[in-house]
């Protein structure tokens, strides 16, 4: 009987995910649990923070279990898992950010790389006002900080 780790999602649509060792060792934050001394038949329950809902955790586990059948993680990501496109819709944006943050929390390096690279591609070449509008970001710089930023941009242009 192999060790089992349970990821307990309590947020929207609560759900428990049982991970076998092959999947669990892909997460930096829990792989060490397999090396600690405990009864081989015991189950360890790991509480997932509320902000990571069961859908997102399910997507991440789907990635972990399916990636091996593709030539590379990137191939799987682009061909099947996330289809990079010119401009994602609001739902896709939310999903990308949620997977990114959850992967970082779980220590799933490959997914962190893929999600952050995708986000970088979406942000490249756009001015902050466009990004705020597309990604629903509130600008929270004070008037002084905005002025300092404008000054710095002006100096940067002169320096060119």
Partner 1 sequence: MGSSLSNLNDGATNDSSTGPSLGDIPESCIAAVFMYLTPPEICNLAGLNRSFRGAASSDFVWEKKLPPNYQDLLDLLPPERVLGLSKKDIFAVLSRPIPFDDDNKELWIDRVTGRVCMAVSARGMAITGIEDRRYWNWIPTNESRFHVVAYLQQIWWFEVDGTVTFHLPPGIYSLSFRIHLGGFGKKSGRRVCNYEHTHGWDLKPVRFSLSTSDGQEASCEYYLDDVKREEAHGHHKRGFWIDYKVGEFVVTGSEPSTEIKWSMKQIDCTHSKGGLCVDSVFINPIGDLKDYRTKSFCEIS
State the residues that interact with partner 1 by CB under 8 A: 11-13, 51, 53-56, 90-91, 93-95, 97-98, 100-101, 104, 112-113, 116-117, 119-121, 123-125, 127-128, 131-132, 135-141, 145-146, 149, 152-153, 156, 159-160
Contact yes or no for 13/54 (Cβ under 8 A): yes
**Rounded to the nearest 5°, which phi and psi values hold at 75?**
-60, -45
Q: How far is the CB of 149 from partner 1 (least distance, A)?
A: 5
Q: How far is the CB of 37 from partner 1 (least distance, A)?
A: 31
Q: How far is the CB of 51 from partner 1 (least distance, A)?
A: 7
Residue 62: CA count within 13 A, CB half-sphere: 12
- Tell me the three state secondary structure of residue 8: strand
């Amino acid at each position: 009987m192999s060790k089992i780790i349970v990821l307990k999602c309590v947020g929207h649509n609560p759900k428990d995910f049982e991970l076998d060792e092959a999947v669990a060792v892909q997460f930096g934050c829990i792989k060490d649990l397999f090396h600690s001394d405990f009864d081989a038949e015991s189950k360890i329950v790991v509480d997932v923070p509320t902000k990571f809902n069961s859908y997102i955790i399910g997507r991440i586990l789907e990635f972990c279990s399916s990636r091996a059948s593709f030539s590379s993680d990137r191939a799987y990501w682009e061909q099947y898992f996330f289809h990079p496109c010119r401009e994602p819709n609001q739902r896709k944006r939310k999903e990308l950010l949620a997977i990114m943050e959850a992967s970082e929390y779980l220590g799933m390096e490959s997914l962190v790389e893929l999600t952050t690279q995708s986000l970088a591609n979406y942000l490249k070449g756009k001015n902050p006002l466009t990004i705020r509008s597309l990604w629903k970001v509130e600008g929270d710089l004070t008037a002084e900080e905005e002025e300092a930023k404008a000054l710095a941009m002006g100096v940067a242009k002169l320096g060119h």
